[in-house]
Structure 1
Amino acid sequence: MNIPFLDLSRISPVLKNRLERKFSELLESGIFSGGEEVEKLEVHIQQLLKTRFTIPCANGTDALELALRALQIGPGDEVIVPALTWVSTAEAVVLVGAKPIFWDTDEEGLLRPDWDKAVTERTKAVIPVHLYGKMVKMEQLLEKAKKLRLFVIEDAAQAFGTTQDDKAAGTWGDIGCLSFYPTKNLGALGEAGMCLTQDENLAQKIRLLSNHGQPIRDQHELIGRNSRVDSLQAGFINVMLEEFESNQKKRKALAKQYIKELSGVSELILPKGLLEEDHNAHLFVVQTKKRDQLQVFLAKNGIGTAIHYPRIIPDMKPYRVDGDFVTARKLAHEGLSLPLNPYLKAEEVDWIADKVEEFFGLIA
């Protein structure tokens, strides 16, 4: 078999036809920025995630930067960030002139609960990252943040659709940030993102910041930037939303199959809570001391894998800093993402599991 880690060309012919029709509709309308599709997207996400305000933007990285700017975080301020995450989480902090203060993760890659030890008089916010699609325990985090008078910006780029106590990822903090990058559980056919908030003033400010600071054309109330989502991507997301629930069921079913078939591999640590509501099965990340050898073996057998992420941010040149990041660094060295997406077939999961067992000497 040849099983890529993710092949977006595998989407069904029916879905392809719907996307092509949406493209034709927009081409006919002649509206390529703003308009009905963007308005529909806002309403669809509001209803699905039960959030008051949704502000689409160009991508998930911009969403983080817009959130920081809306909260007036900048030079001289510090923001607590997990050591293991995609670089955007820290990058956005630096881009607004603030300083990321890195803290270690727990064994699941989530910000360690004792992050409050990193708080100083300069700390203005904490960014919990719902890594791999697993939510941080938000009630506990918010309780600490409130006592410390810190803003909470949720990086929910990988966690669309997850909930805790019937409350969606991205709707707990002051601002939640989403990414609709094509590889996400809900993806566009290009770049797109969104900010969520329950605060009307913050919503208005984010909207201004994302559109050159103008409430209406040529009236500029503050210094903003251009981070509008384009109509085409909004339209594509609206189509993909129709597939979201069914795709989530497929992800969960395949994740359950992986867990059942790999549970006997003692040298492999399987992800926890993947079938719960606070996990959207975005990634299936196993851990093993033989990670690199396993990846090579699977590649030789036609199985694509990925590493999320091979280096923690404090070890990267632009962000280098010393600190106690033992668990995050262990995950970076031992974590391997196996294919998990709604276009994968059950027999392909069987094949992958068999090859993993073969590598560990459990089957001939």
Structure 2
Amino acid sequence: MSIPFLDLSRWDEALKRRLCRKFSEVLDAGLFSGGEEVAKLSDAVNQFLKSRFSIPCANGTDALELALRALGIGPGDEVIVPAMTWVSSAEAVVMVGAKPVFWDTDENGLLKDDWENAVTKRTKALIPVHLYGKMVRMEALTEKAKNLGLKVIEDAAQAFGSFQHGKAAGTWGDVGCLSFYPTKNLGALGEAGMCLTQDAELARRLCLLLNHGQPVRDEHELVGRNSRIDTIQAAFLNVFLEDFEANQRKRKTLAKRYLDELSALSELRLPEGILESDHNAHLFVVQTDRRDELKSFLAKNGVGTAIHYPTVVSDLGPFESTGNFENARKLAAEGLSLPLNPNLSDAEVLQIIASIIGFFGQ
């Protein structure tokens, strides 16, 4: 039995029918930018995440750039970014003319607690990334940032539905940035993203920036851009949000099965805290110094895996930076993502587990 890492065509028939009905509703309404579905998505996310303002936009990368611009960050400024992350976290900083300053992560890929050692007189903000769905310790981070006079932009692209002390990922910082890329726990059927903020003036600026600087049509307060969400993607997200909590329970059940069955393998480091509320089980990333061998073995046995991410951002050509990123580089060399999504069957998970145990000779 071949098991893909992720197959987005595996929708059940009932869900397909609901999505088709929603598409028909939008088609019949004839409104494809803005409108009721976008407002409904904002309201639903506000309620679910307990956020004051939830502002949909075109994608998660745009959300980061919009957040930086809304906070007035630009040329001459520095922004602290973890070395282990998806490229967007640094890319957005460069796009506004600022400089990403990379810092190492802990063993889980989260920005190390000693990030204040990267602060200079040019530092204006930092971007903690809730990697794989596991949250950075935000209470301590935001307190430290406040004392240093720094803005906090949460990259919660992978962490929708993670909560720390009852407070959602993306609602701790000045702005939180979400991605609804199709592979996410809450994913659209195309590109979509969102900014979260608890500040009314920031919310106003974000709304202006994503819509050509317009408070109303043909009035322009500032130079913005077009980063509006498509109405159809907002509509699809409203459907998927109805199933989100049930899908999360399935993810946690599968993650627990992995933990229970693989915990005896001394050569395999399992993800920490994946069953806790501050981890949404977006990715189940194991670590081993035999990563490439294990990946090849699993592929030969019909099990798809992925590597998130094989190179730290600070080693990529456009962002190349010197520094001691020991933990980040180790994770890049040893991390392997196992299949973890609500469409996996129990039999498939058991086959994956058996193959991993077989590889390590247990």
TM-score when scaled to structure 1? 0.99
**How far apart are the structure 2 equivalents of 1:46 and 1:321?**
38
**How far apart are the structure 2 equivalents of 1:27 and 1:81?**
42
Deviation at 1:149, TM superposition (A): 0.2
Whether 1:355 and 2:329 are equivalent positions in the alignment is no
| Partner residue in 1 for 2:133 | 133
Q: Residues 229-268 of structure 1, C-alpha deviation per residue, up to 9 Å, x if partnerless?
A: 0100000000000110000000000000000010111100
| Partner residue in 2 for 1:94 | 94
Q: Residues 54-113 of structure 1, C-alpha deviation per residue, up to 9 Å, x if partnerless?
A: 110000000000000000000000000000000000000000000000000000000000
Q: Residues 312-347 of structure 1, C-alpha deviation per residue, up to 9 Å, x if partnerless?
A: 001000000110000000000000000000001111
What's the RMSD between the two structures over aligned residues? 0.4
Deviation at 1:143, TM superposition (A): 1.1
Count how many residue pairs are aligned between Structure 1 and Structure 2. Answer: 362
| Partner residue in 2 for 1:278 | 278
Q: Residues 36-60 of structure 1, C-alpha deviation per residue, up to 9 Å, x if partnerless?
A: 0000000000000001001100000
Amino acid at match of 1:36: E
Deviation at 1:271, TM superposition (A): 0.3
- Where does 1:307-322 land on structure 2 (aligned, <5 Å)? 307-322=307-322
| Partner residue in 2 for 1:246 | 246
**How far apart are the structure 2 equivalents of 1:98 and 1:201?**
22
SS in 2 for 1:8: coil
Whether 1:346 and 2:346 are equivalent positions in the alignment is yes
| Partner residue in 1 for 2:200 | 200
Whether 1:83 and 2:98 are equivalent positions in the alignment is no
- Where does 1:324-339 land on structure 2 (aligned, <5 Å)? 324-339=324-339
| Partner residue in 1 for 2:119 | 119
| Partner residue in 2 for 1:269 | 269
**Long gaps (5+) in structure 2:** none
Amino acid at match of 1:128: P
Whether 1:217 and 2:197 are equivalent positions in the alignment is no
Amino acid at match of 1:208: L
| Partner residue in 2 for 1:6 | 6
**How far apart are the structure 1 equivalents of 2:348 and 2:264?**
19
SS in 2 for 1:322: coil
SS in 1 for 2:243: helix
SS in 2 for 1:10: coil
**How far apart are the structure 1 equivalents of 2:266 and 2:353?**
14
| Partner residue in 1 for 2:232 | 232
Amino acid at match of 2:63: A
Amino acid at match of 1:297: F
**How far apart are the structure 2 equivalents of 1:279 and 1:347?**
25
**How far apart are the structure 1 equivalents of 2:8 and 2:214?**
37
Identical-pair percentage: 71
| Partner residue in 1 for 2:70 | 70
Q: Any runs of at least 4 consecutive aligned residues in structure 1 with deviations exceeding 3 A, and if so which?
A: none
**Long gaps (5+) in structure 1:** none
| Partner residue in 1 for 2:298 | 298
**How far apart are the structure 1 equivalents of 2:70 and 2:215?**
15
Q: Residues 9-28 of structure 1, C-alpha deviation per residue, up to 9 Å, x if partnerless?
A: 11111001000110011111
**How far apart are the structure 1 equivalents of 2:294 and 2:117?**
37
**How far apart are the structure 2 equivalents of 1:245 and 1:11?**
16
Q: Residues 272-315 of structure 1, C-alpha deviation per residue, up to 9 Å, x if partnerless?
A: 10000000000000000000010000001111000000000010
Amino acid at match of 1:192: A
**How far apart are the structure 2 equivalents of 1:320 and 1:138?**
28
| Partner residue in 1 for 2:22 | 22
SS in 1 for 2:351: helix
**How far apart are the structure 1 equivalents of 2:65 and 2:129?**
15
Amino acid at match of 2:40: K
SS in 2 for 1:100: strand
**How far apart are the structure 1 equivalents of 2:12 and 2:116?**
47
